[in-house]
Amino acid sequence: MVQDVQDFAAAHPSLVHIFSLGTSYEGRDLIGVRISDDATDNLSEPGVFYVGQHHAREHLTVEVVLSIMHQFLEQPQVSNLIHTRQIYIVPSLNPDGAEYDITGGTYHYWRKNRQPYQGVYGTDQNRNYSYRWGCCGGSSGDPNDETFRGQVRVLDARGRGDARLHAGSPEHHHRDQLPLERGADPLPVRLHVHRHSGRHDVTDHNTFVAMGARMHATAGYTAEQSSDLYIADGDWNDWMYGALHKYPITVELSGNSFYPPDEFIAGESRRNWPSAVFVAQIADCPTKIVGVSCSTEALHR
């Protein structure tokens, strides 16, 4: 994965810019690329963010995100997006778990990262986000559980502060810090508009429904609200929407098992490409797909 990302950047030095979200618990680089014709983040352009492998054993997600990365520069019909968007790609958010999952040449069905807590390895990275962390019976406080929500990060020496804001593996800590490091808009991801009417309004609901319908039409997956699949808390979707006011979609790839053969890579990549283009196209104003335009003022907040 790292080699592919580095080769891709080297082949397109003016359009592909390597960045890092920081390092994992075991010290691996959380590598990513920004694709755009701007040498540095152009915060006046909408951003879109593709990430893979919250969960270690979901290796196919790395392949599909890498494929999306390549397609953006190989498909001439999306060249306009290179010039009008900031496209951020992080193929793996869980390199430690991924490496552990393939140690010894066999698969270990490992889901979590490799950060120990009370002598037990692993936090579920998709239960560890700070927005309403552990709120709702959708994660576990037991480090032996597959959906262990992780330890509380105590930032304040006096022990003060809202524990729910400090939840975090190092991987998540870096993501939470990213906007501060960039001194800019929350995350370089602006597939979003912060609308004055509030974020739980009917326009947002309708926008998610319409996004799901459009993505279902091309990819064929069932489109549903995450909580209709099952309840989770501290997950990516809630954090992106609830804390950062973005419009997240989680794609559960097909493969019939955690370890589909490599023959699945091309087909799953192909079926997800139209969705990837679609979210980039609407990143300037997601609500436009339900007829609600975005004011310039709102976009820059």
Give the interface with ligand 0X9 as residue ranges (CB under 6 A).
55, 58, 126, 226-227, 229-230, 232, 235, 237, 250, 252
Q: What is the C-alpha separation between 282 and 286, in angstroms, rounded?
A: 5
| Residue 252: active-site member | yes
Q: Which of 45, 252, 263, 268 is catalytic?
A: 252
Per the listing, tokens 């997006």 go with 81
226 binding partner (options ligand 0X9, Zn ion, none; Cβ < 5 to 8 Å by kind): ligand 0X9
227 binding partner (options Zn ion, ligand 0X9, none; Cβ < 5 to 8 Å by kind): ligand 0X9
Spatial CA neighbour of 276 closest among 65, 54, 38: 65
CA angle at residue 224 from 228 to 30, to 5 degrees? 95
Which residues on adjacent β-strands are paired with residue 120?
117
Spatial CA neighbour of 112 closest among 169, 30, 28: 169
Question: Residue 126 CB, nearest distance to ligand 0X9 (Å)?
Answer: 4
Question: Residue 122 CB, nearest distance to ligand 0X9 (Å)?
Answer: 13
Question: Residue 40 CB, nearest distance to Zn ion (Å)?
Answer: 33
64 binding partner (options ligand 0X9, Zn ion, none; Cβ < 5 to 8 Å by kind): none
Residues within the interface to Zn ion (CB under 5 A) = 55, 58
* Largest pairwise CA distance in the chain: 56
Q: Which CB atom, from 17 or from 55, has the smaller least distance to ligand 0X9?
A: 55
Q: Are the C-beta atoms of 15 and 36 separated by less than 8 Å?
A: yes
N-to-C CA span, the chain? 35
268 binding partner (options ligand 0X9, Zn ion, none; Cβ < 5 to 8 Å by kind): none
Catalytic residues: 252
